[in-house]
Amino acid sequence: MTWTRHHVEVAETCDHNHPHTSHLTECIRVFIKDSYTSTFQSGSNDQMYGCMVSWGLGCIVFPLCLGVFQIGVFKPLLVTSSHVLSPAFGLCSVAVSGIATSVAVLATYSNCNVSEYRGLDVRFSDLVCYGVGSAAIFKLLRGKFASVLPSTILKPGAFAQRGIPATKNYASSGKKATLAAIGSRHGCHTCGKRRTAKSFIADHQPPLSLPKRTDILHTLSKFFRPHQSDYRFYPHCPSCSRVQMTYLGAMANQRTTSLTKGRVVRMDLNHIVTHATSLRLYHLYLPLPVIMAAAYNVCAG
């Protein structure tokens, strides 16, 4: 199914005197209605096959692109979900992944429908539409942009919800039960594992072995919220807990050695945990940006 002048004419002869945005909405409505009729009611197997294959490919390519960004770009650059600019980095990652996926979907659909193949014609405005549309759908599916970045075991991770107030002591049985409920619903706060994690450990954040914070932000926070606890508990899977213990142990040894030798502690990549296979609803690719771009092109003339 491709855009024809028919869709514009139907939209233009509509009873309402639309402003531009309503006209675009009407174009999309007519396009979806005609696509549905020609694909599913006239028995066009080629088109149905093309729709299913291209959408299926999109559902694989979108999370794959996000995973490539996470492992190949953000981890080497030491940019994690707790970085102050993580929402902006996450937004860029989602938009670029959405653009790449939409182009792949469009190319696949065109190739599957040999009778309608007219070559791939993608303009700059289409790419903008793909990026903005993908980011909007990601938010509509309740995604957090920062959550597509890797986690650090030194701070609340990419899947962290609001934690439970904690002291320096171990979690009580009541708090452990609450954390187990949070973990089974939202997953390990670092790697996002839910069903594969058999049990959850109460993770102190910030870790108890780290030096106490003395920065200006922490001082201001304590001034305005003097009764707020310094620590919070988050659910941790055994695997991330092991990574944390190993890293903090090595860091403590290194700090001792460095202090004695007068050197600064060297940070490395071992405190960063990627979670490209922990998929959520917001990793689903919906081909709406491709439809929106096609509608915009027709309306813009």
Q: Specify the residue, 143 or 157, whose C-beta has the smaller distance to Zn ion.
A: 157
Half-sphere exposure of 58 (CA within 13 A, CB side): 25
Q: Specify the residue, 240 or 286, whose C-beta has the smaller distance to Zn ion.
A: 240
- Tell me if 237 contacts Zn ion by CB under 5 A: yes
Contact range with Zn ion by CB under 5 A, out of 32-40, 95-103, 232-240, 260-268: 232-240
Minimum CB separation of residue 277 from Zn ion in Å reads: 12
Q: Specify the residue, 219 or 277, whose C-beta has the smaller distance to Zn ion.
A: 277
Q: What does each C-alpha distance from 47 to 6, 39, 109, 286 come to in angstroms?
A: 19, 6, 8, 17
Residue 151's DSSP bridge partners are 273
Minimum CB separation of residue 251 from Zn ion in Å reads: 19
CA nearest to 191, candidates 297, 280, 124: 280
- Tell me if 286 contacts Zn ion by CB under 5 A: no
Q: Specify the residue, 65 or 191, whose C-beta has the smaller distance to Zn ion.
A: 191
> Which stretches of the chain are DSSP H helices?
5-12, 20-36, 45-69, 86-112, 124-140, 173-186, 216-224, 238-261, 288-299
Contact range with Zn ion by CB under 5 A, out of 15-23, 125-133, 212-220, 237-245: 237-245
Q: Specify the residue, 35 or 241, whose C-beta has the smaller distance to Zn ion.
A: 241
- Tell me if 190 contacts Zn ion by CB under 5 A: yes
Candidate list 66, 105, 160, 191; residue touching Zn ion; CB under 5 A = 191
Minimum CB separation of residue 151 from Zn ion in Å reads: 8
Q: Specify the residue, 188 or 290, whose C-beta has the smaller distance to Zn ion.
A: 188
CA nearest to 184, candidates 163, 160, 164, 200: 200
Near Zn ion in 137-176, by CB under 5 A = none
Q: Specify the residue, 111 or 184, whose C-beta has the smaller distance to Zn ion.
A: 184
Near Zn ion in 32-91, by CB under 5 A = none
Total chain residues near Zn ion (CB under 5 A)? 5
CA nearest to 210, candidates 251, 150, 268: 251
Contact range with Zn ion by CB under 5 A, out of 1-9, 74-82, 133-141, 239-247: 239-247
Minimum CB separation of residue 125 from Zn ion in Å reads: 41
- Tell me if 188 contacts Zn ion by CB under 5 A: yes
Q: Are 131 and 99 in contact (CB under 8 A)?
A: yes
CA nearest to 149, candidates 140, 137, 162, 158: 158
| Residue 219 DSSP code | H
Q: Are 204 and 167 in contact (CB under 8 A)?
A: no
CA nearest to 138, candidates 217, 65, 199: 65
Which stretches of the chain bind Zn ion, using CB under 5 A?
188, 190-191, 237, 240
